[in-house]
Structure 1
């Protein structure tokens, strides 16, 4: 059955009378998880500047100006993050995503609280260890979320709901950078920012444990009307299906998603981890102004996601194929930012407003990718969406490790604008290559291997029944 057929079935299904359903509560909780998880990931980008300051607002706040491993600390999260992704997708698929997500958020929150403690007791090595452990656990985040979206999202709402959930990340970045900057520049001191996020995460864990569910079929209070609307006439089996690994890894549309994800992660994480340093070293903003201006592009990204995603769903429902829409929005999300970054590489410290404006364009228009490659895993294989996200997130996050470290390789000081010209042009090149590859090879159709597991399971069950007869 093709994606177009699925969409026709979905549109024929009557919508629930209630505009707010239990599925929306699930989406909102996943949105909050994205906000908190990204806050935990990114508050270090501003926090490390305060941690290494030699002149904190409160002299009782511990700081470590002698530390030399700033870029290593910033990339350490991804050392752990890249490891469990593929295995996480398989485990989530086998045992269900709810409790993996619960444990992920709890351990992340605990080690966020431990960051200030480890900084004092074990130095930069202790902070690196905390970040690696946080990364290991967040390796279960997106495979869990993608699996839940595959189970809970009606096809008609796919771009909109996936964008809503995933743009919790940029919004979480905005909040984390602003809050961390304000706290670090106050008498309270930078450790309070880590304690605060740890508390938020533990609170979410408790809430999700009571309200979250693996799928509509496992939610005890979901109406039959809403369940049928979610499934759209295409029931989604909760039984474990064998994963067609060979078919997945040799699938050209899947490889297109992988390449797009790699380009995205290089660009997104280069900018996310280095914008505060760029604002500090080149534009000479003080830490509180730095954090707010560093957060502004991600606020615009979050806002634009609510413009792009409904347009994408509308175009799919009325005018264009799923694959065409994914390519259009992926192009918007990568080519426009690439152009802005190339222009930014020639801006100097006397053009602060222009630099901020170009950063807003470079980051903000990246929101279109949430309706591009980022949801394409579910398009090509609803049954294996979590596995696909695990693979692409694992491989692409190798580039998330390399991206912050590239600054240490380029033979210029961080206060030299030439360094940043290289950084921004390399990032633009990665975006352009990924966009071109995706436009050539991507697809919006459900792939034949999506149902290979179902056929195999059906064959096995029939054989078992025949054996029972004899």
Structure 2
């Protein structure tokens, strides 16, 4: 059992027992980290494997099938066709009924779609692969809204940035592990098909583990200590049941701080999806790396993302908890670091000469690595504004903004007509940098760091509350 300091409403400190140093909240955090690691592994897998799927010189085994597809960017973007559809629905379902079993079902469907890709490619060509990716996108649409619903229940306010960053670092970890593994297997005798079976089996394993050890909230977990449960619920203000409150849709959608998160998500998804789906192709076509070197070097930026995420998570919580800046200031600061940094690195990369290989790789590492700061910016800000409805808010922002994840690879295919022409890639990098910066400026102006009034007022009471306030104002004017 450990003892921490918490800030009371009057600004003074008091001792609070937080339960064991490694508690149930940390176990839930690790499971959610693994969820994103496996999910992003499945996303990135195709980005690397598609090079081998369309190049008959990649594998040593002549029996490994290859295909003549000229729509690779369309195939890579097809995941997001399904991904954007169910996110708001998933957030609402999770808040109303709990997320546990929805996550189990979503991961089973996602894993099945992954394992079917080699079969569908052989039977139906690129259309079959896109059908599997749409299915995966639909199921993965449950992941981020569910994670935010769970963090709203499990992450104590003093630890919000740290625990949230650990979970979101799964994005980087899954990418780090997947790129070299997929590249190595695809270039070996076994070829690219087993890579999809491997990650499908990992997904099934996670779903089974979550079914046994996952829980919707501290109140439902059978093995949590009373001290840890009280600590979590007290700091979050969730000691009373809030799942029956109706969602304040109108108030939420007219809230500028909520829109700051949505716009921040727009910029992040545009820039990150461009990097995620196109880096393997860029490094292969422009820098001339072979398949195995490509996958190893492509994972280097995500190793930086993984490392920086822990640094930024600890630093942001330290600044907030020790009074070095308000929660809103810290969110804006780190969001700016995570967007302006990649923007500058991408523009620099676009103007480097083609033979500046080492410096180009350095710029790619900076562009992706420093982006980890957004995990402490807009990415966790949903819970700051509304612990109750953070999953729904995440569904709105992540679902709508992932339309940019569809558009960005298609724009690459439209502009980069010659994949070996660095000047065409320069245009892509400048566009991504501009979107990064514009979205962050909006976030700086309108973002907030405190719980919004509509978090504690159900929608059916909002109009009554507004009407009562208006009547009181009218009476005051008449007097």
Partner of 1:59: 62
User: In the TM superposition, what are the counterparts of 1:36-435 in structure 2 within 5 Å?
Assistant: 36-55=38-57, 56-64=59-67, 66-233=68-235, 234-236=237-239, 237-318=241-322, 319-410=324-415, 412-435=417-440
C-alpha deviation, 1:87, in angstroms: 1.2
C-alpha deviation, 1:239, in angstroms: 2.8
What RMSD in Å do the two structures reach over aligned CA positions?
1.8
Consecutive unaligned residues in structure 2, runs of 5 or more: 1-5, 465-479
Q: 2:224 is paired with a residue of what secondary structure?
A: coil
Distance 2:126 2:8 in 1: 52
C-alpha deviation, 1:54, in angstroms: 2.2
Partner of 1:467: none
Q: 2:340 touches 2:436 (CA, 8 Å); kept in 1?
A: yes
C-alpha deviation, 1:418, in angstroms: 1.5
C-alpha deviation, 1:97, in angstroms: 0.6
What are the Cα deviations for residues 344-380 of structure 1, in whole angstroms up to 9, with x where unaligned? 0012331110110000000000000000010000001
C-alpha deviation, 1:42, in angstroms: 1.1
Q: 2:248 touches 2:459 (CA, 8 Å); kept in 1?
A: no
Q: 2:335 touches 2:376 (CA, 8 Å); kept in 1?
A: yes
Distance 2:328 2:50 in 1: 41
Q: 1:7 touches 1:156 (CA, 8 Å); kept in 2?
A: no
What are the Cα deviations for residues 195-244 of structure 1, in whole angstroms up to 9, with x where unaligned? 00001010111110000000011111111110011113523525322010
C-alpha deviation, 1:116, in angstroms: 0.5
Distance 1:375 1:278 in 2: 31
Q: 2:8 touches 2:14 (CA, 8 Å); kept in 1?
A: no
Relative to structure 1, is the Cα distance of residues 304 and 218 closer, same or farther in structure 2, using a 3 angstrom cutoff? same
Distance 1:11 1:346 in 2: 52
Q: Runs ≥4 in structure 1, deviation > 4 angstroms?
A: 4-11, 454-457
TM-score by length of 2: 0.92
Q: 1:412 touches 1:418 (CA, 8 Å); kept in 2?
A: no
Distance 1:9 1:201 in 2: 45
TM-score by length of 1: 0.94
Distance 1:262 1:425 in 2: 16
C-alpha deviation, 1:455, in angstroms: 8.6
Distance 2:53 2:147 in 1: 32
**Count of residues in correspondence between the two structures:** 454
What are the Cα deviations for residues 374-433 of structure 1, in whole angstroms up to 9, with x where unaligned? 000000111100000000001110000001110122163111111100110000001110
Q: 2:270 is paired with a residue of what secondary structure?
A: helix
